[in-house]
Chains A and B, each alone.
Chain A
Amino acid sequence: MPATTKTNFQLFTNGILNENPIFRLALSMCPAVGISTTVMNGIMLGIAVLFVQVFSSCTISLIKNYIHPRIRIPTYTLTIATWVTVIDLVLAAFLPAAYKEMGIFVKLIVAFAIITMRLEIFACKNSVTSSFWDGVGMGLGFMFGMMAIGFVRELLGMGTILGHDVLGFRPLLFFVLPAAGFFCVGIMMAMFNYVELVYNRKKRAEKR
């Protein structure tokens, strides 16, 4: 596949909408289902993924010419693991307040499919600048997805938003449980697909 022809801005929005990791690429469904119980969790995990994605993308795109094609996947895993460890240690040492909130989320990241896939699909074929913007877009897209799911689940499951009581009661405890994650993701994915369908139809109609 040739290097991308998209501009940096297109790369950036690409991750958030056209190729949203959760709703469009259907990657990293484990965290999307497991941890998205509150908006805050979504934000935290989103930030953590954003950083690891950007750092890993840049690293791989820097060393892409030296990676033997047969061992590229182990190399990606190693890169991600290294960055996760580095971020975890640095946060714990120099930003204890942030670490208290983020610590458990950072450690989860090593196994995320989204990061490995972006390295495989994008970073190993493109320049550092493009990879950076792709990483930022994907990270933010993931954060947006997690927040959207978290919003629905927190509101319906606990009646709160960001920990503030807005409904005054708990409508359906079911939404906090992991199984509800599938429902939320599924319904939102369907919405995304529907919007795309309508949009494409309109476009075609305009062309005629």
Chain B
Amino acid sequence: MKEIIRITLGLTVSCLIAALVMGSVFIVTDKAKRHNEHVNVQNAMLGLLGYTEAHPAPSDLRLYTVYRYIIEDGDVRTLGYMVPVTGNEAVRYQLVVMDLDGQFVDRFKLDITPEKAQEAVERASALKAVLKPPRTFVYSDSTIIARLGKKRLAYLLPGKFPGFKTFIQVILAIDPSFEIIGLEIMEHEEDPGLGAEIKQDYFKNQFKGKSFEKIKNINVTKEPLPKEYKRYLEAGKGDGTPLPKGVVDTIRSKYQDRDIYALTGATISSKAVTDGVKNIIKKFAYRMNRLDSLISEQHIPVAF
């Protein structure tokens, strides 16, 4: 009996000490870690739009985030979009509610700034203030809309889909006509040397410039990647002589409407990314068209 008590006590104490150590380290590092992740995502987004350290973003580039929520009121399901709206002075959020057919339901002013809206907890408390029980809401996804001056520049879509092993997290940049500007793989656990090659330029750059029409029924092909196309895709790397301008244009137009060349030995990963991208864009285009028509119908002075 004494033995059992000693063992229990020993285990409890060691667990407590371990918890204490991990907890305090977490408290110390959490803020910096989240900041790093945020910076990472931000840099990836700017990178997709073609802005790097050497070529920084212009000062009138604005990134607005639209958050999408699913609202349930008993059996009735509606969609809530948190959209940034230009007010008298600063940008504030409004909640636009539409039903599943895209018809306008309701509109609320939210007491939340764009900075605060980045925190899920802050958003939830702002939404709770307008959506009284028994209505419940669940966060679905968010879209970042880049605006340059008076022009809508691009949509940035963070997305997640199953890969060969676990989920692949990406950010997609598409222009207002839903043509792909770029694809960035943020997190994945594909096999090194095989599926992990999705991170390489010669794979992910194949998506660049694919039109919405092409994306709708894009597929992967198991043909080997042509040498000239590979050179074109890896042009951004900076090694080797750059391709002459005329050649770049011919190669681009030649391969623009081709399917995605699958990675050798990683057809499943290649297919997963291709299908994932296709799904994200198809769904987004459908939703964005509805939201846009609702915004113009209701004359909402959105910021984007």
Contact = CB atoms under 8 A, between A and B. Distances in A.
Looking at chain A's contact residues, is the secondary structure mostly helix, strand, loop, or mixed?
Answer: helix
Given A37-B192, A75-B14, A81-B18, A173 B25 contact: no
B24 to A, nearest CB: 10
Contacts of B33: 89, 92-93
Contacts of B7: 68, 70-71
Given A79-B18, A96-B36, A89 B193 contact: no
Contact of B265 (A78, A104, A176): A176
Given A81-B18, A86-B25, A68 B194 contact: no
A38 interface: yes
B11 interface: yes
Given A68-B7, A68-B10, A86 B21 contact: yes
Contact of A173 (B6, B189, B265): B265
Nearest to A173: B265
Interface string B6-26: 110011001100100110011
A67 to B, nearest CB: 8
Contacts of A35: 192
A90 interface: yes
Contacts of B25: 85-86, 89-90
Contacts of B26: 89
Q: Per DSSP, are chain B's interface residues mostly helix, strand or loop, or mixed?
A: helix
Interface residues of A, number: 32
Contacts of A71: 7, 10-11, 14
Query: For chain B, which range describes its interface: under 10, 10 to 19, 20 to 34, or 35 or more residues?
Result: 20 to 34
A10 interface: no
Given A93-B33, A94-B32, A74 B22 contact: no
B263 to A, nearest CB: 11
Contacts of B103: none
Given A74-B11, A90-B29, A93-B36, A82 B192 contact: no
B219 to A, nearest CB: 23
A38 B192 contact: yes
16 contacts: A41-B192, A67-B10, A68-B10, A70-B7, A75-B14, A89-B25, A93-B30, A93-B33, A93-B36, A94-B32, A99-B36, A157-B193, A170-B264, A176-B194, A176-B265, A177-B265
Interface of B: 3, 6-7, 10-11, 14-15, 18, 21-22, 25-26, 28-33, 36, 39-40, 189, 191-194, 264-265
Given A38-B192, A68-B6, A176-B265, 14 more contacts: A41-B192, A71-B10, A75-B10, A78-B18, A79-B18, A82-B18, A86-B22, A89-B26, A93-B28, A93-B33, A96-B36, A100-B40, A104-B189, A173-B265
